[in-house]
């Protein structure tokens, strides 16, 4: 049984998809036992509480250095005996010590078909803005393992999503979440927990 | 009625898909009236002849400079009153004078979801080798207008294709052709001929 920590920064819709999947019994080999937010007051913390999951807030600006922030985050993860870390819209960057502590045990979801529209600077709405600017007709989402290269770790799952003629970055972001991210992330977590990958 | 030239370098399966589509009446506003090969003896020339389409061979090595090659190619296209040029696996590079003569009237098919796996050096099997090396789970094909930037012109159509666990570059190339290239290219040609784009 793997203890899963989900790291969030906002509304937590990806977290909700993960919790809903767990409730439906789709991940018999894992359980979300901790939600870590990068700032207090975000709605994801409320979703976690509603589900009876413990929460923590680890805020970058509370620490003098990124090393101290990493150490604090790692401390919280170890305290809860976390085996798998899931980045679900976590906007702080994980340092090398955290990545080294969880080799092939950190998952991230990225809102494009990597290697398109990824790397430093590509996060959130910016990804969809760039996709629309290039005029692509197909985009999607990717779940990958996190390593030391930004968006460069091994790909676990990808799903394509159609771009529509009237799309704005906002409508495209919503469709990619609904059609791809919310489906891929719980599936990827269950695959890792089952030992399938 | 648009006169279409299809430029080829090999077996001509994309050409066949275009001709089959025309035979089915799917492009009432255009007709393939010329097939140009980059070397003699390729099977695409036989396919053209079987369909009653005129052929020409314009070979880079028969000319002293790329400018002279471009001039010869342009001469053949003009002689046949060509309105739309389709690159269907044509392995010679079109020079600026050809591109300038057919603004938004040259289509190319690329065997990936641009902007992934495109640009200088990415052609043929190499595209699929790189996709498998990166471990993507979704790839596809793109039909785009040709401008002065390699694989950088406006995208007209894209279609996603699943990568399977046992894929080799060869099996992936075949699936991308069958599921995407052969469908997208005739559709894109009909869209341009109808004035829809």
Taking the CA of residue A117 and the nearest CA in chain B, the distance in Å comes to: 8
Structure tokens at B174: 């075949």
Reduced 3-state DSSP string for chain A: CEEEEEEECCCCHHHHHHHHHHHCCCCCCEEEEEEEECCCCCHHHHHHHHCCCEEEECCHHHCCCHHHHHHHHHHHHHHCCCCEEEECCCCCCCCHHHHHHCCCCEEEEECCCCCCCCCCCCCCHHHHHHHHHHCCCEEEEEEEECCCCCCCCCEEEEEEEECCCCCCHHHHHHHHHHHHHHHHHHHHHHHHHCCCC
Annotated catalytic residue B144: no
pLDDT reported for residue B61? 94
pLDDT at residue A17 above 90?
yes
Which among B136, B154, B157 has CB closest to A155? B136
pLDDT reported for residue B150? 85
pLDDT digits (tens, 9 = 90+) for A94-112: 999 999 999 999 999 999 9
Cα distances (Å, whole numbers) of residue A165 to A135, A141, A159: 10, 19, 20
Number of Cβ within a 10 Å radius of residue A71: 14
ipTM of the complex: 0.90
pLDDT at residue A149 above 90?
no
pLDDT reported for residue A89? 86
Determine the Cα–Cα distance for residues A84 and A102; give it in Å rounded to an integer: 7
The residue in chain A having the minimum alpha-carbon distance to the alpha carbon of residue B133 is: A154
Stretch 164-193 of chain A: residues touching chain B, C-beta under 8 Å: none
Mutate to test the interface with B, among A104, A110, A116, A147 (most CBs of B within 10 A): A116
What is the pLDDT confidence band of residue B133, given thresholds at 50, 70 and 90? very high
pLDDT reported for residue A4? 98
């Amino acid at each position: 049984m793997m203890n899963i920590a989900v790291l969030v920064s906002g509304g937590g819709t990806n977290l909700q998809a993960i919790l809903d999947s767990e409730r439906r019994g789709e991940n018999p080999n894992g359980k979300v036992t901790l939600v870590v937010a990068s700032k207090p007051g975000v709605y994801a913390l409320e979703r976690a509480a509603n589900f009876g999951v413990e929460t923590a807030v680890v805020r970058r600006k509370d620490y003098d250095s990124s090393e101290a922030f990493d150490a604090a985050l790692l401390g919280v993860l170890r305290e809860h005996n976390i085996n798998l870390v899931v980045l679900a819209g976590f906007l702080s960057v994980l340092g090398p010590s955290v990545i080294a502590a969880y080799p092939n045990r950190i998952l991230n979801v990225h809102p494009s078909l990597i290697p398109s529209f990824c790397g430093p600077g590509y996060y959130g709405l910016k990804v969809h803005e760039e996709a629309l600017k290039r005029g692509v007709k197909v985009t999607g989402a990717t779940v990958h393992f996190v390593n030391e290269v930004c968006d460069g770790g091994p790909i676990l799952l990808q799903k394509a999503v159609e771009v529509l003629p009237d799309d704005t970055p906002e409508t495209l972001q919503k469709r990619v979440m609904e059609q791809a991210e919310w489906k891929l992330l719980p599936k990827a977590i269950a695959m890792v927990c089952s030992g399938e990958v």
